[in-house]
Amino acid sequence: MKTLISTAKAFLYKKDFEWDKEITLQNFHPQLQIFLAINGVFFNNRESKIRDTFLTGQLLIWRLCWSWIVFVCFISVLYISNTLLYLLYQSTLATHDEHMIRPLIFPMWLPEDDPYRTPNYEIFMALEIILIYVVILTFGLYVYILFHLLLHYYNLMDMILIALEELFDGLDESVVALPREDPRRQAVQDELNIRMGQIVRWHQSVFDSVNDISSVYGPTLVYQVMFSSMVICLIAYQVAEQLSEGKIDYLFGILGIGGCLQLWIPCYIGTLLRNKGFFVGDRCFYCGWHKTPLSRLLRPDLIIFIQRTQRPVAIKFTALPHLQLETFSSIMSNAYSLFNMLRQYK
C-alpha cells in the first residue's frame, strides 16, 4: 500500500524530473501541446526567473486536473459498486422476502408501472450505468478542460507580473541624457520596447483566449448555471428526506458535493482571473518607474497598459452572468429557496 501511495505521489508531483535540465513541453505536460507557442519561452530558457514559476504553476494545474478526474471517477465507481454489492447481498445472503425491492443506482418511479419488476429493472439498471459513464466522459472532462485552460492563463498573468518587475533591470539609466539619435539610447529604447511588447502580447492573449473559451463553452455554461440550482436543490431534498426517515444517504451527499464543486470551480477561477487582471494594473503602476529615469522612454506605453488593465478579465456569454463567486452565491441562494419550498409543500 505504501509503495502504491509513493508511486501515485511521485506521478502527481513529477519527482522524476530534473528541473535544472532540459524539459520539453511534451514530456512535462502533454495536454499543453495546444500552447506550442510558449515552448521555447518558458521551458527552455533556463536563465529566466519566469521558467521556475511557470513550471511550478503547470505542476499545480497537473495535480488539480488529476484530482478532479479521480474525484469524478470515485463518485461514479462508488455509485455502481454500492448498488451491485447490495444486489449481490440480496441474492446470496439476505433471507428471502417477497416484498424485498432490488436496488437501482438512482431511485425511480413510473406512473402506471413498477420500475423494479422484470424486465423494467434490468433495462433501467443498464441505462443508469451507461448514464454514469456518459457523465464521466462528457461532464467530467468538460470541467477538467475548462479549468485547465483558465488556470493556464491565470498562471500566464503571473508571468506578466514577473516581467513587469524586471522591466528596467540591467539597463543603463545614463542614456536618458543622450540625444535620441545616439546608438546607446536607441539600443536601450529598443530593448524596452521588446520587453513591453512581450508583456502587452501576453496580456492581450489572456483576453483573446478567455473570449474564445467563453464563445466555445458559453452555451454549456448557460445551461450549467441555469440548472445547477435545481439539481443541487433536488439532491439536498433527497438527503433531507432520508434523514427524516433516520437514514444517511451518503451517496447523494457525495453527489451534492460534486454538484457544488462543478459550479464553484469555474466561478472561483473567474474571480481569480478578474482580481489578477486588476492586480496586473497595480503592479504596473508600482513597477519602479518613479525610481528610474528610463521611465521617460516608456511613459506612454505604461499609461496605455494601465488603462487596458482596468477592463476586467471575465468569462461572459449572452444570457450568462459573469462567472464569479457572486454568481455561485446567487445560485446557491436560489437552490436553498427552492429546497425550502419543496420541504414546505411536499
As a whole number, mean pLDDT of residues 263-272 equals 88
Higher-pLDDT residue of 177 and 17 is: 177
- The answer as to whether 11 is a domain residue is no
Q: How confident is the model at residue 102 (pLDDT cuts 50, 70, 90)?
A: confident
**Contact status, residue 156 vs residue 202, Cβ threshold 8 Å:** yes
**Contact status, residue 331 vs residue 263, Cβ threshold 8 Å:** yes
As a whole number, mean pLDDT of residues 324-335 equals 89
Question: What are the phi and psi torsion angles at 310 (to 5°)?
Answer: -75, -10
Please give the residue range of the domain that contains residue 197: 19-344
Q: How confident is the model at residue 31 (pLDDT cuts 50, 70, 90)?
A: low
Residue 263 pLDDT greater than 60, yes or no: yes
- The answer as to whether 7 is a domain residue is no
- The answer as to whether 91 is a domain residue is yes
Q: Considering just the CA atoms, what is the radius of gyration of the chain in Å?
A: 27
- The answer as to whether 60 is a domain residue is yes
Residue 36 pLDDT greater than 50, yes or no: no
**Contact status, residue 310 vs residue 281, Cβ threshold 8 Å:** yes
Nearest-angstrom CA–CA distance, 278 and 309: 6
Nearest-angstrom CA–CA distance, 221 and 203: 24
Angle at 209 between CA 144 and CA 195, to 5 degrees: 120
Give pTM, 2 decimals.
0.78
Percent of the chain with pLDDT over 90: 1
As a whole number, mean pLDDT of residues 295-319 equals 85
Residue 30 pLDDT greater than 70, yes or no: no
Nearest-angstrom CA–CA distance, 108 and 92: 24
- The answer as to whether 1 is a domain residue is no
Domain count, the chain: 1
Q: How confident is the model at residue 26 (pLDDT cuts 50, 70, 90)?
A: low
- The answer as to whether 3 is a domain residue is no
Owner of C-alpha cell 417477497: 98
Residue 39 pLDDT greater than 50, yes or no: no
Crossing angle of helices 250-285 and 183-244, in 10° steps, is: 160
- The answer as to whether 9 is a domain residue is no
**Contact status, residue 228 vs residue 335, Cβ threshold 8 Å:** yes
Nearest-angstrom CA–CA distance, 311 and 290: 24
Q: Smallest Cα–Cα separation from 103: which of 91, 87, 117? A: 87
Residue 11 pLDDT greater than 80, yes or no: no
DSSP bridge pairs for 320: 317
Q: How confident is the model at residue 38 (pLDDT cuts 50, 70, 90)?
A: very low
- The answer as to whether 84 is a domain residue is yes
Cis previous bond, 183, omega within 30: no
